[in-house]
Amino acid sequence: MEFGVFDHLDLGERPHERFYRERLEIVEAYERAGFHSYHVAEHHLTPLGMAPSPSVFLAAVAQRTKRLRFGPMVYVAPLYHPLRLLEEICMLDQMSGGRLEVAFGRGALPAEVRFFDVDPAQTEKTHQETVGFILDALSEGEVTVTAESGKRRLPLAIPPLQKPHPPLWYGVHSPEAAERAARRGMNVVGLDTVAELKPAFARFRAVWKEARGDAPLPRMGLGRFIVVGKNTNEARALARRAYRSWHESFTYLSSRMGFGHRHSRPPEFDAIAEDGRAFAGDPEGVAEYVRAQLAESGANYFVGQFAFGNLSLEETLGSIALFSDEVMTMLKRAARLAPA
């Protein structure tokens, strides 16, 4: 059983310098706790995302960790020149000793794409072209570029360390998206409800078997807000306060610019906990919640969002430690004892 972390890197109430310093301390704690991978969002001109350049932040992560895998969830591909993004991916893979995991997407909010003078109506086409360019170059070790004399084929000055390329990820919201990811051999993560994700993961498994036979399944991740406390009342009080702060960041652009979210979230923690996308409690309660969510959805990889809103450094580190020392231990013991 494996566990990962998703992070919007929402600012909360800290000064920026302190935010980055503390977030890197938290990332070190994720490594000590034994998480498999750290997945980072990309957002622009909003307190929801303090990693508008995921590569810059992840370069610091690479230097502060030795085993933890990491990557963007996602690189907003239409906002990059394909060659620039290709070279950043190769640098990060080499600098981290081959620990990079890569995801591409079109962008969660059309408004953020427009900030870059990119037409949201063209993002799917641009996304496919950019990703195709990068994956071809990573697999072939060379790239076609424009030169004064016309198109030229040149070898990569910096190849990826992982061959043919770092593991690929895709954010899923539907069975159709899950099918595309399975055919491309990608890992997936979903943040929606179990009712929405269960058919997506079922389609993923079926298409994977059809396309790849008995090859081991990749990671099918389920992302959830998690707060672990010594007792349930303490954990829920922290989660309610912090989630309210996170939601203000989540709706910052939509409130300021007057549009709706494609993937909305309720404003109060109790409401998102009620639909199953969040949980706060003592270690025993969290362990049972995680077990049930994985069993009901068909996921095989649990991705916790532990640092969000105005949780303090100490509160976040305490929650991570309880999850690592007690929740992970309970779940792994139960998995070992479960009948084959």
Same domain membership, residue 231 and residue 211: no
The β-bridge relationship of strands 69-72 and 37-40 is parallel
160 vs 137: CA distance, rounded Å: 10
Same domain membership, residue 240 and residue 134: no
Q: Is residue 43 part of a domain?
A: no
283: nearest Cα among 331, 317, 240, 239: 331
Residue type at 235 in one-letter notation = A
SS3 294: helix
- What average pLDDT score do residues 204-225 get? 96
pLDDT at position 208: 97
DSSP H/E element including 322: helix 313-322
- What average pLDDT score do residues 73-98 get? 97
SS3 205: helix
Same domain membership, residue 193 and residue 134: no
DSSP H/E element including 207: helix 194-212
Q: Is residue 230 part of a domain?
A: yes
The 10s digit of each residue's pLDDT in 140-160 is 999 999 988 889 999 999 999
- What average pLDDT score do residues 187-214 get? 96
- What average pLDDT score do residues 321-339 get? 90
State pTM to two decimals.
0.96
- Total domains, the chain: 3
Same domain membership, residue 9 and residue 74: no
Neighbours of 314 (CB within 10 A): 9
Same domain membership, residue 30 and residue 77: no
% of the chain surpassing 90 pLDDT: 92
47: nearest Cα among 5, 73, 9, 6: 9
189: nearest Cα among 69, 303, 35: 303
Report which of residues 258 and 178 the model is more confident about.
Answer: 178
The 10s digit of each residue's pLDDT in 35-60 is 999 999 999 999 999 999 999 999 99
Same domain membership, residue 181 and residue 159: no
The 10s digit of each residue's pLDDT in 3-33 is 999 999 999 999 999 999 999 999 999 999 9
DSSP H/E element including 32: helix 16-33
Mean pLDDT computed over every residue of the chain:
95
Q: Tokens standing for 149? A: 């004399």
Neighbours of 243 (CB within 10 A): 28
pLDDT at position 41: 97
pLDDT at 262 over 80: no
The 10s digit of each residue's pLDDT in 91-130 is 999 999 999 999 999 988 899 999 999 999 999 999 999 9
Strand residue runs (E) in 156-274? 168-171, 187-190, 220-228
115 vs 259: CA distance, rounded Å: 15
Same domain membership, residue 190 and residue 115: no
pLDDT at 261 over 80: no
Q: Is residue 61 part of a domain?
A: no
pLDDT band for position 340 (50/70/90)? low
pLDDT at position 46: 97
Range of the domain at 209: 172-217
Same domain membership, residue 26 and residue 105: no
DSSP H/E element including 92: helix 82-95
Output DSSP code: residue 318: H
Same domain membership, residue 32 and residue 74: no
pLDDT at position 318: 98
Same domain membership, residue 340 and residue 228: yes
Cβ neighbourhood burial of 59 (10 Å; 0-12, 13-18, 19+):
middle
Q: Is residue 302 part of a domain?
A: yes
